[in-house]
A and B are shown apart, each in its own frame.
Chain A
């Protein structure tokens, strides 16, 4: 069984701590929500898992080896607002980017890769729009394209940064459908979500962060008035509405 374990993780930006001493373990085959207020270090946690930023202390293991030796098992969907949507590229080209590393240097995409890309686009309902420039997609459609790109990586661990921000209801439903399918196939899906709306019910497990780990467990263990007060401070009432 491939467990993700984060132990005593501390991350700084120019000496200012963004995450302090965070530890948790996650079993596979579940959809995990990472929640917490703005600036809580949720994106930082994901970037540390991905090796995009240096960690000060802490170990990240996946299965019985360091996560850093198993990058090809991880798929990442960056925050939509951090991408350049005016870039001259199409849905199809973006999805194929998920096959670049497995294709290898100096090679062209194989027929198998193209078939995977087509299947992923069909799964997210974007096959008809595959030739469309990415700048002409709605927020929900953009998010589906990136989900398709993650799917073709055939990873075991999926990390998604705020996939629900600015997407329509239909896309939200579809995203959760796919997440649950992945979990049913034994994958671990970690999803950052910054508010505490009704969707929190959809997660099998939650990680509540605010610079440090406030709580982790199922919804009832995490969403207590006390935890929310510690994470959100005066805004805790906003959480209890969920």
Chain B
């Protein structure tokens, strides 16, 4: 058993993949808790899809790919809220429009430039965890640090704002800035996750650990901790599955996450039938 665990770690590429998988597992699972309670799961999806054109443009003008992706994600959130505020269009519809438009632009741009450059659209769509570089490990670790420290420092404000935005605003919290800050954390998180699972499956990394934890524990910081544990375990398990069975790493991680959610759901159902009177008293 131990050798089964240790064997892959003799390879530097597996050490790097594991580092990224764990970092991404932590921040996706933590940030996803805010998206879940604010019913913004779709926004996580929109942000991740819309970073593609930023990537392509960054590639063309030779700036850091993460910077381009981050800017594109922020521009798309801005457009979503602009459409929603300036017209009767509902927020989810605005997200649908912006998400698909940006995604299409990204695919088009990358398809055009990938002929001359050595990049592969599939790697952005589905991730390529086993081929991360040392620089990417460093950047991801840095992003993870920023996200985790921000959440710890702003914990009580973000909790108040997430639960009762009007109450928080009435009490004097700068709710617009908190919302913007949260969106920047989501954007950073999806940018960092692109390598691990790709933009299509990052939604699962954000939301599945959060809802799994939500079924198990009742307090927000417990939900967040349980979510992080679930995210990290799935990342590690998925990576090993991908190594031993030669599976694509992103989907392998997401399959483990889905499996854990299914178990949590079954447990939740069983609890309900066992103690039907334990709810509203």
Contacts and interface: CB of A to CB of B under 8 A. Distances in A.
B170 A76 contact: yes
B4 to A, nearest CB: 36
Interface in A97-140: 97-98, 100-101, 103, 105-106, 108-109, 133, 136, 138
Interface residues of B, number: 28
Contact of B157 (A87, A88, A105): A105
Interface string A28-53: 00000000000000000001001110
Interface in B202-223: 214, 217-220, 222-223
B171 interface: yes
Given A88-B37, A89-B219, A100-B156, A78 B166 contact: yes
Contact of B167 (A76, A87, A89): A76
B163 A97 contact: yes
A138 B166 contact: no
Interface in B171-192: 171-173
A76 B222 CA distance: 27
Q: What class of interface size applies to chain A in its complex with B?
A: 20 to 34
Contacts of A78: 164, 166-167
Given A88-B37, A88-B223, A103 B170 contact: no
Contacts of A82: 166
Contacts of B223: 88
A87 B163 contact: yes
A84 interface: yes
A87 B164 CA distance: 10
Contacts, number: 82
Contacts of B162: 87
Contacts of B169: 50-52
A103 B156 contact: yes
B153 interface: yes
Contacts of B154: 105
A222 interface: no
B157 A100 contact: yes
A76 B159 CA distance: 17
Interface string B17-57: 00000000000000000000100000000000000000000
A47 B166 CA distance: 9
B280 interface: yes
A106 B37 contact: no
Interface in B235-264: none
Nearest to A105: B157
Contacts of B168: 97, 100
A76 B171 contact: yes
A83 interface: yes
B281 interface: yes
A90 interface: yes
Given A84-B37, A88-B219, A89-B159, A101 B166 contact: no
A105 B168 CA distance: 14
Contacts of B280: 136, 138
B160 interface: yes
A100 B171 contact: yes
B279 interface: yes
Contacts of B156: 96-97, 100, 103, 108-109
A53 to B, nearest CB: 10
B18 to A, nearest CB: 30
A76 B170 CA distance: 7
B170 A88 contact: no
B218 A90 contact: yes
A172 interface: no
A65 interface: no
Interface string A197-219: 00000000000000000000000
Contacts of A47: 166
A237 interface: no
Contacts of A109: 156
A136 B220 CA distance: 15
Interface in B76-99: none
A103 B155 CA distance: 13
A93 B166 contact: no
Given A76-B170, A153-B171, 14 more contacts: A50-B170, A51-B169, A83-B163, A88-B217, A88-B218, A97-B156, A97-B160, A97-B164, A100-B157, A100-B160, A100-B173, A101-B172, A105-B153, A105-B157
Interface of A: 47, 50-52, 71-72, 74, 76, 78, 82-84, 87-90, 93-94, 96-98, 100-101, 103, 105-106, 108-109, 133, 136, 138, 153
20 contacts: A83-B164, A84-B37, A84-B163, A87-B220, A88-B220, A88-B222, A94-B163, A96-B156, A97-B159, A97-B160, A97-B164, A97-B167, A97-B168, A97-B171, A100-B156, A101-B171, A101-B172, A136-B279, A136-B280, A153-B171
